[in-house]
Amino acid sequence: MEKWIVNKRVYYDATDAGGIVYHTEYLKFCEQARSELFFQQGIFFEDGGYVIKRVEADYLGSAKLGDILEIETTISKIGNSFVEFNQKVMKEGDKIFQMKAVAVYIDESGKIGRIPPRHRVLLNLYLQKGEF
């Protein structure tokens, strides 16, 4: 079991007038981390991709301009056509955000399809048995 880890810097566009990161930006960082996992294998979703069906997110802390965040991604379930991602955003060792995201595979025809074997091999690397 591996974790997929990417770092993200907080720039002005991710902050708001409250002085901290706007709440949807954590979901965006997490999406970028998921996409990067595929991109690094040369998978650019030209034949099919994933859409989000459900998100459960907890905001445990905050981040501000210039902070460097670590996005940790593991996978808790892989079905025929869906994946459940568990993602955490860490700031200097503290967990400031956690999210469960269920994504469904959409094939070339635009319909729900079976996750391709090549994707499945990749996703299995990060499959985590145990607790969220």
* Residue bearing tokens 């607790």: 131
70 touching a copy of itself, by CB under 8 A: no
5 touching a copy of itself, by CB under 8 A: no
At position 50, the amino acid (one-letter code) is: Y
111 touching a copy of itself, by CB under 8 A: no
Q: Is 58 a catalytic residue?
A: no
Nearest CA to 127 out of 53, 37, 58, 7 is that of 37
**Smallest gap, in angstroms, from Cβ of residue 116 to a copy of itself?**
17
Among 16, 47, 92, 108, binds a copy of itself (CB under 8 A): 16
107 touching a copy of itself, by CB under 8 A: no
Count of residues near a copy of itself by CB under 8 A: 37
Among 1, 5, 45, 124, binds a copy of itself (CB under 8 A): 45
Catalytic residue among 13, 16, 58, 107: 16
Q: Which is nearer to a copy of itself, 13 or 129 (CB)?
A: 13
Q: Which residues are catalytic?
A: 16
